[in-house]
């Protein structure tokens, strides 16, 4: 699969602004600072399609991107303590409303830093997706920070931490592009299922 062109479509702050896609839609979610924007830019082959920030909690809206064969929805990061409880609750409501429309959703990529064990928030997200029978894959980000050997060990550990098989975890690096091919292959499968 080849991404020829990707473009930003719109942002949604509330449920009535959510898009109803006419093509498969894939959501990207994860803790704040898990590397969602960097991953989107890597997939698009662009440096600034999704705004990246060193400060976590940058994405506060659902941002939609058109990748030609599919739509991608970038969701607000969860588990970021430096915003008010009120703001966290608002993000939680937005995520709930988004996932409630599961007929609009083909797949979810849950981003988790390969160097860290899944957090309570990550595990809660996975159990939420399992409960709602939403298909998902864990993308273990920042794999460029580890040696290949250490990376393999961590993939096994992350899979165990999430209670998944290793084939449900794809190690990726938004900086080096490592794992991009495996990720595009997964997206191709998702699109085929959605046809």
Q: pTM for this structure?
A: 0.90
pLDDT of residue 34: 82
- Are 75 and 28 in contact by the 8 Å Cβ rule? The answer is yes
Closest CA to 75 of 47, 24, 110: 110
pLDDT digits (tens, 9 = 90+) for 26-55: 999 998 778 888 899 999 988 888 876 544
- β-strand 25-30 against 107-113: which pairing, if any? parallel
pLDDT digits (tens, 9 = 90+) for 84-130: 677 667 767 778 888 888 899 999 999 999 999 999 989 989 998 99
- How far is the CA of 130 from the CAs of 70, 99, 106, in angstroms? 23, 12, 14
What tokens appear for 33 in the block? 């600072």
pLDDT digits (tens, 9 = 90+) for 178-194: 999 999 999 999 999 86
Residues with Cβ within 8 Å of residue 121, at least 6 apart in sequence = 31, 78, 79
């Amino acid at each position: 699969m080849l991404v020829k062109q990707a473009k930003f479509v719109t942002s949604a702050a509330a449920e009535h602004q959510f898009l109803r896609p006419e093509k498969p839609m894939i959501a990207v979610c994860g803790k704040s600072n898990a590397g969602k924007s960097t991953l989107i830019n890597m997939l698009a082959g662009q440096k600034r399609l999704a705004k990246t920030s060193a400060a976590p909690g940058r994405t506060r809206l659902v941002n939609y991107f058109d990748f030609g064969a599919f739509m991608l929805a970038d969701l607000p990061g969860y588990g970021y303590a430096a915003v008010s409880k009120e703001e966290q609750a608002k993000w939680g409501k937005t995520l709930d409303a988004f996932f409630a429309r599961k007929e609009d959703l083909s797949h979810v990529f849950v981003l988790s830093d390969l160097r860290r064990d899944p957090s309570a928030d990550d595990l809660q997200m996975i159990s939420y997706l399992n409960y709602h029978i939403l298909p998902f894959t864990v993308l273990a980000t920042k794999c460029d920070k580890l040696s290949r050997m250490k990376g393999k060990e961590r993939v096994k550990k992350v899979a165990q931490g999430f209670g998944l098989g290793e084939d449900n975890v794809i190690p990726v690096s938004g900086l080096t592009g490592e794992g991009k091919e495996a990720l595009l292959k997964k997206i191709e499968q998702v699109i085929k299922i959605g046809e």
